Amino acid sequence: MSMISRFRRSAWLLAVVPLLAWAGPREDYARQWPLNLSRDDGGAYRVVLDENVYRQAQSPQLRDVEVIDGSGTPVPASVFAPEQPLARAPQRVALPWFALPASPSDSATQGWELISEVETDGRLRRVEARSTATDTTRLPQTALLIDASRLRRPILALELEWAPGAALDAAYSVEASDDLDQWRNLSSSGRLVDLQRGGQRLLQRRIVFDSVGEQARYLRLTPQDPKAAAQISAVKAELAGNAAAAPLQWRELKGRRIEQKDGGVAFEYELDGRFPIQQIDVALPGNHALEWRLDSRDAAEQGWHPQAGPWMAFRVAGQGEGDRSAARQLAATVRDRHWRLRANAAVPGEPVLRLGYRPEVAIFLAQGAPPYALVAGSARTARADSPLAHLIEALRQTRGKDWQPAEASLGESASLTGPAALMPLEPKRDWRSWLLWAVLVAGALIVAGFAFSLLRSSKPVG
């Protein structure tokens, strides 16, 4: 082979290698699902994710779920909760609430202790606040304990009512809890305003949470200034609409028994996908009544995080009928792979862990040329952020509040790169840096060789 032929072959390889390294978004994913559009002129479309997509996804945030056009180019897309893209008018639900003593903002302790009676489903039956202050002054009853345990959807905002009267401008701190013992501060802060002047009224009665909402069993509102707080007469929760459009689905897992060092027994389970778990339940054969605790973690080498409990699960059968405890709502959506159940007594049989979720939806913009496809499963790339949430709101303002994306459905899935897409790519080598170092080292060796040759050739003087 001549020198010119070898040069041409090397140049061809150098031109092809970069093209092979950039295989395109389609080759970065394990599987694809063709998207069947309900209409051609929808502009924006909504597709419900199925269990096969969740099984294939690797990212805890579903960042490896994307929509591409006919050429394999990603289009603007995002994953939403099942009710968000369909939400129209929010729903308002009255909530039970209890007045609590409000400690002064400069007090190191709250000055009271909470005594409560709770039903098996988490609802508050009775609440009593006993003063622990050293003085005999009764603390004003201007803080609120709100019972949201019966809700099954996140709260977007709280709406409070009070009798009109004196001018009001009161700031509140907001806390959340699932057991009435451990409380966490929420980033949302509330300010209630009721001012009148010259026949006009300035009224602010809503405490707004973020766009995802807050899902906790109990909320506590404490005024920064107890003496300037409002005398609340009613509390309502504002919920996202149309959550019933997404029925609850269940994953039933069989676990393995683990003997613990303290003599107890635990049962560990592995979930086969990135499902957005929201409710949990335990199934056991026969009559039983046990108190359970549930933990989860994303990887076997990580520590366990508590998710629920203690709560009681039971089943009592008799005369052809049976009663069993209701499923339990988690405080937040969890996508962990590993789950652990622990009981307070001996377990009669092998418990089945039931994990409930509502399928989410992917919204995408029909950009580029069809056909469109949903791709999932990648350790090489991630879906870029898109302003689709703002786009939906803007379109509802121009097209009406009832506007929603057109429907699309998933077709039969097909393999793309397969399991190879789930392996991270090797880090790219910086050839320029290596070449620069090679030139520097070669230059240093040349200088050193030149200096050595001068030393050898020089003759001693005298």
- What pLDDT does residue 436 have? 75
Amino acid, single-letter form, for residue 141: Q
Say what the pLDDT of residue 142 is.
77
* 46, 66, 88, 285 from 38: Cα distances, Å: 10, 19, 21, 45
pLDDT at 226: 80
Say what the pLDDT of residue 243 is: 45
C-alpha to C-alpha distance for 54 and 50, rounded to whole angstroms: 7
Backbone dihedral angles phi then psi of residue 41, each to the nearest 5 degrees: -110, 30
Give residue 204's pLDDT. Answer: 87
The residue type found at 38 is: S
Q: What is the pTM of this model?
A: 0.60
Give me the pLDDT at residue 446, please.
79
Digitized pLDDT (tens) for each residue of the chain, 462 residues in all:
444 443 343 333 333 333 333 345 788 999 999 999 998 888 999 999 999 999 999 999 999 999 999 999 999 999 988 866 655 556 788 999 888 876 654 444 454 555 556 665 555 555 555 555 544 345 567 788 999 888 877 888 899 998 777 788 888 889 888 888 888 888 666 788 888 888 788 888 888 886 567 778 889 988 888 877 778 889 999 886 554 456 889 999 999 998 877 777 899 999 999 999 999 999 998 888 899 999 999 999 999 999 988 888 888 887 655 688 888 888 888 999 999 999 988 888 899 999 999 999 999 999 999 999 999 999 989 999 888 888 888 888 888 877 889 999 999 999 998 888 888 766 655 667 667 777 777 777 777 777 767 666 665 555
DSSP state of 112: E
Chain centre to alpha carbon of residue 2: 62
Tokens representing 409? 């459905």
Answer for the pair 272, 249: CB distance below 8 angstroms, yes or no. no
Output the CA angle 84-58-42, nearest 5 degrees: 40
What amino acid occupies position 88?
Answer: R
Cα 221–Cα 116–Cα 187 angle in degrees, nearest 5: 25
Kind and range of the H or E run holding 331:
strand 328-334
Q: If you count them, how many residues does the chain have?
A: 462
Q: How far apart are CA 55 and CA 49, in angstroms?
A: 11
101, 141 contact by CB (below 8 A): yes
Residue located via tokens 């057109």 = 406
- Distance separating alpha carbons of residues 111 and 114, to the nearest angstrom: 10
CA distance 322 to 389: 45
Q: Is 38 helix (H, G, I), strand (E, B) or coil?
A: coil
Domains of the chain as residue ranges with CATH: 21-88+360-422 (no CATH), 91-240 (2.60.120.260), 250-357 (2.60.120)
